[in-house]
Structure 1
Amino acid sequence: MSHGVVTGQVHHGRRGVAPFAAYAAAVLLAALGLAAATPAQAATPTVDRLSGANRYATSAAVSKASFPAGVPVAYVATGAAFPDGLAGSAVAGRDRAPLLLVTPSAIPSEVKTELERLAPGRIVVLGGTGAVSNAVESALEGYTTGSVTRLAGADRYATAAAASRASYGTGASNVFVATGASFPDALSGSAAAGAQKVPVLLVGATAVPSVTATELKRLKPAKITVLGGTGAVSAGVANALAGYTTGSVSRLSGADRYATSVAISKAAFPSATRALLASGSVFPDALSGGSVAAGVPGPLLLSRPTCVPAAVRTEITRLAASRVTLLGGTGVLSGAVASLTTCSSVVGQVCTNPYFTTSDSNGGVTDHGYYVHNNLWNASSYPGTKGTTQVCSYRSWNHIGTAKNNGDGAVKTYPNVHKDYSGRTISSFPRLTSRFAATSPGTGIYNVAYDLWLNGVPNDEVMIWTDNHKQVPAGSRFASGVKLGGYTWDVYATSGNGYLAFVPSNGARITSGTIDIKAMLGYLVSKGRVASSATVDQICYGVEIVDTGGSSATWRFTDFSITDS
């Protein structure tokens, strides 16, 4: 339905093992105080933290706690970007070796101190001179009596292939394949790959780069495991990968990066005395931790900054882990994460102590990159329409509204939380999923729904209805029983496809869950309803209110997030 929109706070108008390896493993376990977990221990694991003042100091702290002096090899990668360390973390894990981070032009003091302690037999630099300069490579020679070599290619895909070519022989038992466009899936997989001593290679969302194809031909893997969902590595790429193995091509994925890390853990580790926990929002701490996890062996699981996803907490229990080690300081993993507080217990809380309240028709507040908007866009045309939004956070807010249906079924207001994208093409998103939860009054006429604005705000509109109460979509139904993202939808369109809507089939009401926005947009593209070149400009989640049943009604929103990388 048409309703007002807002971008940020700018309001718009209408519309809406070798001996050393064994020794190293023993030292690693001893250094971290690990022992076999009893069931009682597994229920309440001990939590510790490895961190430093910055990403470089954290990599040094992780190394110091995990590896003895005299390691045969140490790996070095830039801390400024993730690609080179993606495959390198798995190689370091295979060698039970540390991965230290440097700047493109210097070795941080904490890393120098750790290299002096390690006195590695040799050093391997990951990435080209744009990532780690020749000057840094030369300076590294002062920290080893052996060689300093470089594994690099023309881009991230070629660097991953170079690392594989230098480290693994033909006849690999498995190859992990992940997107090179974002870091979470490959980093979660690095611990599993390192433990199994198999490579990680990178692909595009819709194509296998030629350098990756060449390396797969050389490796002749017995099987291939794709990391991440179809938004990260498309079904077409997975099908193409079948040409490089005589075995199976399988996929480990979840609804988001956190669930994918759980899927990888379940597949790779029947149990583990220890699990490592890193931020799923930033890459550096996990880069250093992948090789450590491989040596335990145990998983590298991903967490939100302020709480542990429920699936991750459940996986820690399944593993019977007696110890959980957080990688990084409180700025990336909060005290609540250290207490293993689950996100469900945080975001499921109703907003009872709002820090911001507005009854202004265009009132709103920015919170962590999202905008919570009162949006009484059509109220002036319908006297008596009112609304107040109370905000505890972008994931926890309430709306108290009053509206009366005058018989035309018009939407009066659309209070929502949204994120702006400034014209990103659909294909540019490695993934695009969203979590949501809301409770509704069950009276009146309304529809809790996503509203996606394409090709400008406002312009083309795609709605995803979740909890509908007596609302009727515009246009006519052109498809039914469409299964996407674990739900079944009927799909509606107006003439010209300016308005499209996914409506749960058979009147189903979905009050919480995760939707795969990219898969749904991909479906519309495949049906010719949306152009493949279409851009995403804004993603909203809120409630379209037509009528509140003669008095005020309250909607409580208790979860919302978008995963877009």
Structure 2
Amino acid sequence: MNKKIMVLILIFFLCSCIFVGTPAVAATNNLSPAADSPQIVSSNRLYGQTRFETSKVIAEYYCIGKVKNVILSTGNDFADALSASVLAHEKEAPILLVDSSVDNSKDAFDYVTQHLVATGRVYIIGGTGIISTEFETKLNDLGIKNVLRIAGMDRYDTSYKIAGSLHDTGISTVVISSGEQFSDALSISSFAANKGWPILLSPQDALPQDMKNFLLEKKPSKVYITGGEGVISDNIKSEIISLLPRADIERLTGQSQFDTNVIIAETFAPNPSTIYLATGYSFADALAGSVVAAKTGDPIIFIDPSVPTLPNSTASYFAKFYANILNPSLVSFGGSRVVTDEIIKSSRDLIWGKAKETSIHSIADITAIVTQNEEYSLPATVQAKLYNSDAIEVPVQWNPKFGDTNKIGSSVYEGAVEEYGQMIKLTLTVKEAVSVPIAQYSTHFDLNQVNRTENIRLAVKALDGKLLAPGERFSFNEGVGERTVEAGYKEAMVIVGDAFTPGLGGGICQVSSTLYNAVTLAHLEITERHPHSLPVDYVPPGQDATVSFPILDFKFRNNTDAYILIRSFVEGDTLTFQLYKKAKK
């Protein structure tokens, strides 16, 4: 081989978009295994200060050299671009996210200026209501004349237009995904893109006519439906069978978006070379990263950033790698707020075999509050969280072995749990004895809903010990405070309008409703109370009190001539409020 040919090959390699090493602009964590580990797991974190900067970092990881094509997609609503990964892979084009204005999209334009060849093309995904014409003007001002917008009347039509723009070499397989449940389309995006399978977005109940025409024209022999009947109904499946009676129709679905994500990964990537981690609650990073994962047809795995452990199905998927002597690398899309260091460590522990999916991941320190001279036994078991996010009760040995309630104040007891390498602490607080409560009310909750349980415990702790003077007014929102991640609150189901949806602080309304019933029994004056828009199962109908900081509040007034002491606590799966009268000070 002569020198000229060798130089041309080297130039081609440097300018190609197959760049899978550590990028200059990517934050890299060299998370090394233990010295005696038989495997080595590497981890890169690709992120910026914003989702737009993150997409640029991912783009430079995808291709540090020159590119012939670039895709621009909005970073504010992901529906239009859910199908774009297939086009991006075909065109070897990174996906860059833009904001609502050119001025706020500097990261995308910086990449275009630095990496797009002079004759390159920019694909804009979505209509002018999503990405305005000022973007085309800006690109033209930069000397880029080859700009193509792919847009339909809606997200479904846009996915059809994207499918129609693919190089048609005979389409054997088509993917049908929900245009509402974004995670399903993104879960299969890297595999569909790698194979050149169009992703068509569909409403829940019926296929648009254009998509029917597309299926009739292409006559694929295989159709994958992602997600359950709640997002893509069996009516659509029946329509496809009618249109393509000889095609193999397969639905890929699980009990949750995380289960569906893993089922898709196990179907197409049982032996991946790289695992890409991304948050399962916001999809900008996964959208930008889909073209990277498509290079080798590796999976994007969704995690829950609000907990340090992995969804059950995800933990099982990771644990199989060690059992099968596999060694995938880890690449995280997004910063430590969306893919936490703890999640990365949990993933590595399972892939290494340092932990099993049923190993104890953590045991939270606990507290107990009793009255002076009250009989109290230290708990025989404590709740442990496993790597697969399950919670179980495990035996514990305390030192000292017995709780002392003779003296008012706080004492710390250390507990040891077998097969858990850290000591846990129980803080026992002994308070002055009070009289029999004038009112008491309890409700029950499901301990298996770990995030919801933690939210309940936080709110209960915030209200315990509140003392109201005669005539004083009480506000639940003021007493508990704003429900934020910084305050420790987690994602759980909340009621929004006429639907249950994940929200920060889910479960708080059970606390306010339990207090409301205790206050009612005490005949205190209710000054503000709002019912839920849907029935709840923890109190009888009409006896609930919903709250939403700072809009909806539960308020009452101490209309007695005595001080009112609020006591609140959780024992097992039971939440209790007690109200006590105390003599005037």
Is the shorter-chain TM-score for this pair beyond 0.5, marking a shared fold? yes
CA gap of 1:150–1:224, structure 2 versus 1, over 3 A, is same
Show the counterpart of 1:282.
Answer: 282
SS in structure 2 at match of 1:93: helix
**How far apart, CA to CA, are the structure 2 residues paired with 1:381 and 1:49?**
54
Unaligned runs of 5+ in 2: 1-9, 351-355, 371-435, 462-490, 508-529, 548-568, 575-585
Secondary structure (helix, strand or coil) at the match of 1:116 reads helix
2:272 paired residue number: 272
Does the CA-based 8 Å contact 1:277-1:327 persist in structure 2?
Answer: yes
Contact 1:42-1:317 within 8 A present in 2 as well:
no
**2:288 corresponds to which letter in structure 1?**
S
Paired with 2:315 and 2:92, the residues of 1 have a C-alpha distance of 27
- Change beyond 3 A, Cα 1:383–1:297: closer
What's the counterpart of residue 421 of structure 1?
Answer: 495
Please name the residue that 1:28 is paired with.
19
Q: Is the 8 A contact 1:226 1:252 kept in 2?
A: yes
Contact 1:78 1:103 in 2 (8 A): yes
Kept in 1: contact 2:225–2:249 (CA 8 A) = yes
What corresponds to 2:342 in structure 1? 336
Give the corresponding residue for 1:57. 53
Q: Distance in 1 between matches of 2:444 and 2:301?
A: 40
Alpha-carbon distance in 2 for matches of 1:44, 1:106: 43
Q: Distance in 2 between matches of 1:346 and 1:285?
A: 30
For residue 112 of structure 2, what is the aligned residue in structure 1? 115
61-70 or 196-205, which deviates more? 61-70
Of 355, 362, 366, the residue aligned with 1:353 is 366
| Bigger Cα displacement from structure 2, 125-134 vs 322-331 | 322-331
- Cα RMSD over matched residues? 4.5
- Paired letter, 2:572: W
Q: In structure 1, the residue corresponding to 2:159 is in which secondary structure?
A: helix
User: How far is 1:22 from its partner?
Assistant: 8.3
1:97 equivalenced with 2:96 (yes/no): no
Tell me what 2:224 maps to. 225
Residues 214 and 143 (structure 1 numbering): CA distance in 2 closer, same or farther, change over 3 Å? farther
Residue type matched to 1:162 in 2? K
Name the structure 2 match of 1:526: none
Question: 2:67 is matched by which residue type in structure 1?
Answer: V
Structure 1 residues 161 and 22, CA gap change in structure 2 (3 angstroms): farther
Change (3 A) 1:383 1:280: closer
**TM-superposed deviation, 1:352:** 3.6
Q: Is the 8 A contact 2:72 2:95 kept in 1?
A: yes
Residues 172 and 221 in structure 2, CA contact (< 8 A), matched pair in contact too: yes
Q: Which amino acid aligns with 1:131?
A: I
State how far apart, in whole Å, the 2-side matches of 1:229 and 1:425 are. Answer: 18
Shift of 1:313: 3.5
Partner residue in 1 for 2:75: 79
Q: Measure how far apart 1:109 and its partner are.
A: 1.9
CA distance in 1, matches of 2:37, 2:312: 19
- SS of equivalent residue, structure 1 residue 85: coil
- The structure with the greater share of residues assigned to strand is 1
Name the SS of the counterpart of 1:340 in structure 2: helix
Letter in 2 for 1:315: Y
Which residue does the alignment assign to 1:561?
none
Tell me the distance in 2 between the aligned counterparts of 1:355 and 1:58: 44
Q: 1:85 to 1:382 in 2, by over 3 A?
A: same
Q: d(CA) in 2 for partners of 1:189 and 1:212?
A: 19
Q: Would you say 1:324 and 2:338 are equivalent positions?
A: no
3-state DSSP class of the match of 2:206?
A: coil
Give, as a single letter, the amino acid of the residue that structure 1 aligns with 2:81: G
Identity of aligned residues (%): 23
Matching residue's letter, 2:279: S
In the alignment, the residues of structure 1 paired with residue 369 and residue 110 of structure 2 have an alpha-carbon distance, to the nearest angstrom, of 48
Whole-angstrom distance in 2 between the partners of 1:296 and 1:226: 22
Distance in 1 between residues matched to 2:221 and 2:301, nearest whole Å: 26
How far apart, in 2, do the equivalents of 1:67 and 1:460 lie?
Answer: 50
CA drift of 1:29 comes to 2.5
Give the gaps of 5 or more residues in structure 1. Answer: 1-18, 358-379, 401-416, 437-455, 465-473, 475-497, 500-536, 539-551, 558-565
Using the TM superposition, give the Cα deviation of residue 51 of structure 1 relative to its aligned residue in structure 2, in angstroms.
Answer: 0.3
- Please give the alpha-carbon distance, in whole angstroms, between the structure 2 residues aligned to 1:553 and 1:340: 29
The Cα shift of 1:303 comes to 0.9
Task: Give 3-state SS (helix, strand or coil) of 1:264's partner.
Answer: helix
User: Does the CA contact (< 8 Å) of 2:223 and 2:249 recur in 1?
Assistant: yes
Instruction: Choose 1 or 2 for highest CA Rg.
Output: 2
Q: Which structure has more RCO (C-alpha within 8 Å, separation ≥ 6)? A: 1
The residue aligned with 2:298 is: 298
Give the residue type in structure 1 aligned to 2:452: Y
2:17–2:62: 8 Å Cα contact kept in structure 1?
Answer: no
CA positional deviation for 1:182: 2.5
Kindly indicate whether the alpha-carbon contact (under 8 Å) linking 2:188 and 2:264 is maintained by their aligned counterparts in 1: yes
The verdict on how the C-alpha distance between 1:116 and 1:239 changes in structure 2, with shifts beyond 3 A counting, is same
Give the letter for the 2:196 counterpart: K
Distance 1:198 1:340, change over 3 A: same
Question: Hey, what does 1:163 align to over in structure 2?
Answer: 162
- Name the counterpart of 1:255: 255
Kindly indicate whether residue 66 of structure 2 is the aligned counterpart of residue 70 of structure 1: yes
1:309 to 308, 311, 332: 311
- Residues 78, 131 of structure 1: 8 Å contact kept: yes
Distance in 2 (CA, whole Å) between partners of 1:392 and 1:248 is 39
Task: State the Cα distance separating 1:348 from its structure 2 match.
Answer: 8.0
Letter in 2 for 1:331: R
SS of residue paired to 1:28: coil
Q: 1:460 to 1:298 in 2, by over 3 A?
A: closer
TM, length-normalised to structure 2:
0.58
- After superposition, give the CA deviation of every residue in 1:40-63 in whole Å (9 maximum; x if it has no partner): 989652222000010100000000
The whole-number CA distance in structure 2 between the counterparts of 1:383 and 1:101 is 56
Residue 42 and residue 82 in structure 1: after superposition, are their counterparts in 2 closer, same or farther (change >3 A)? farther
What is the CA-CA distance between 1:284 and the residue it aligns to?
0.6
Secondary structure of the residue aligned to 1:277 is: strand
Partner of 2:413: none
Q: Which residue number corresponds to residue 562 of structure 2?
A: none
Larger deviation: 262-271 or 139-148?
Answer: 139-148
Q: State the 1:252 CA deviation.
A: 0.9
Q: Is the 8 A contact 2:90 2:166 kept in 1?
A: no
Superposition map of 1:152-551 within 5 A = 152-169=151-168, 171-245=170-244, 246-305=246-305, 306-307=307-308, 308-318=310-320, 320-340=326-346, 352-353=365-366, 394-396=452-454, 419-424=493-498, 457=531
What does the per-residue CA deviation read over 1:254-313, in whole Å, with 9 as the maximum and x for residues that have no partner? 111111111111111232211111111001101101111000231111111143324223
In 2, are the aligned partners of 1:171 and 1:220 still within 8 Å (CA)?
A: no
**TM-score after normalising by structure 1:** 0.59
Secondary structure at 1:125 match in 2: strand
8 Å contact from structure 1 (residues 43, 317) kept in 2 = no
